[in-house]
Amino acid sequence: MNPALLAFLKKEFIQALRDKRMRLILFVVPVVQMMVFGLALSNEIKNVRLAVQAVPNDRLAHKIGERAAESGWFHLVPADDAEPFELIRTGRADAVLVAPPGGLTRALARQSGEAQVLVDATNAIKARVIENYLNAVLYRVLRDENPTRAPEAAVTFDVRVLYNPTLETSAYLVPGVMGLILCLVTILLSSMSMAREREMGTFETLIAAPVAPWELFLGKTMPFMILGLADVPLMIALGVGGFHVPLRGPLWALFLAAAVFVGTTVFIGTLISTFAKNQQQAMMGSFLFLFPAILLSGVMAPLENIPAAVVPLSWLNPLRFFVSLTRQVMLKGTIGPFYWTNLAALGLLGAAAATASVQRFRRTL
């Protein structure tokens, strides 16, 4: 290897690893973030507060409440107000089951009357999930009460859930969180590295040193690629061992995708650093990139939910392609056209980021 480049790499590694805080950011913070995101982020709605407003002898209404509580989705709260709207308005309940006059048991015997469910829809997604939960509970109770008169569909489906049969949220979110953490660490560190040199006044010394511009550029980027890749096995081990996310595909495919992604994010961080005059500006520039990247990546919500006019912006987001690749490899385990297409798109973004950062770096020099 080129002696000047080797010396530069050694200098960057020493500078990055001698600081205890930097070691924490590189190896401890990703683990903590993985644990927090993996445990906190969930699409499941649990512990819904349900009140049942019915006369004491209305056996069916209270049975629906009990079955809802047994499901683990709900827990019952007392209907201690004559006005069910007040239970929702004051936040004492998320949903209220209001039996018809005379009771739901008598209404079922007459095959007439409807029960009303009031749902707090300040969170629209949560409200729709609660409605689906209650419909499922109601269907099961009615089927148990009288199977011959239970509501039956004309066509029934025998549903087989593939790749995540237990519907664990962590299996979907953890691969995305891996990309999010890698993106956060590599962009922040690479963008602040050169800004720190400029802020401390050592950047002029580097320029005056007898090294070629390409040696200087590689010396400032390669260490963070290597350090970013060092976090990959740590996060894979935590995702597979800690959150029981399956790893059905080959490790080489996951590491290849991670290598291309880390290279792309480091070049983006370097590009940001060429515009920043100090570390504060570099950090702000990194967050200006990171927040839209996270929202347009599919980590938190499916990309199909975003407006069609915004979708083209997600094609410029490397995190989107890496999240798709990690989910493909870890959950499906298939290496085919989907994998290579997304890897090629990620590689093109990396090449564009590298070209732009090199041009800006030369102009800065």
DSSP letter for each residue of 68-126: HHHTTSEEE-----S-HHHHHHTTS-SEEEEPPTT-HHHHHHHT----EEEE--SSHHH
191 and 271 co-located in one domain: yes
Letter for the amino acid at 112? Answer: S
Count other C-beta atoms under 10 Å from residue 325's C-beta: 28
Q: Are residues 105 and 230 in the same domain?
A: no
In this model, does residue 325 exceed pLDDT 90?
yes
- Say whether pTM exceeds 0.85: no
Domain endpoint, select from 87, 118, 149: 149
- % of the chain at pLDDT higher than 70: 80
The secondary structure element, H or E, covering residue 247 is: none
Co-location of 314 and 351 in the same domain: yes
Render pLDDT for 209-264 as a digit per residue (tens, 0 to 9): 666 677 777 777 888 888 888 888 988 888 888 888 889 889 999 999 999 999 99
Which pLDDT does position 156 carry in this prediction? 41
CATH number, residue 137: 3.40.1710.10
Q: Is residue 207 included in any domain, yes or no?
A: yes
34 shares its domain with 93: no
pLDDT band at 157 (very low <50, low <70, confident <90, very high): very low
* Pair 117, 176 in one domain: no
129 and 252 in a common domain: no
- pLDDT higher than threshold 90 for residue 326: yes
Residues 229 and 199 in one domain: yes
Domain annotation covers residue 138: yes
Q: Exposed, middle or buried by CB within 10 Å (0-12, 13-18, 19+), for 252? A: exposed
Q: Which residues of 19-34 are buried (b: 16+ CB within 10 A; e: fewer)?
A: eeeeeebbeebbbebb
Q: What angle do CA 181, 227, 32 make, to 5 degrees?
A: 35
Among candidate residues 93, 119, 149, the one where a domain is terminated: 149
pLDDT digits (tens, 9 = 90+) for 259-305: 999 999 999 998 888 888 888 888 888 888 988 888 888 887 777 67
Q: Looking at the chain, how many residues does it have?
A: 365
Is the predicted pLDDT of residue 155 greater than 50, yes or no? Answer: no
Listed residue (67, 66, 50) closest to 137, CA to CA: 67
Q: Is residue 310 domain-shared with residue 212, that is, in the same domain?
A: yes
Q: What is the mean pLDDT of the chain?
A: 80
State the residue for tokens 């349900």. 50
322 vs 297: CA distance, rounded Å: 9
Q: What angle do CA 132, 134, 140 make, to 5 degrees?
A: 105
Residue whose structure tokens are 């006019």: 309
Domain count, the chain: 2
Show the tokens assigned to 242.
């800690």
Residues 206 and 261 in one domain: yes
Same-domain pairing of 347 and 216: yes
d(C-alpha 4, C-alpha 7), whole Å = 5
Task: Report CA torsion sign: 319, 323, 329, 335.
Answer: negative
What's the pLDDT score for residue 342? 93
Structure tokens at 282: 């570099």
Q: Domain containing 84: what range?
A: 48-149
Q: Are residues 141 and 181 in the same domain?
A: no
pLDDT (mean) for 70-94: 84
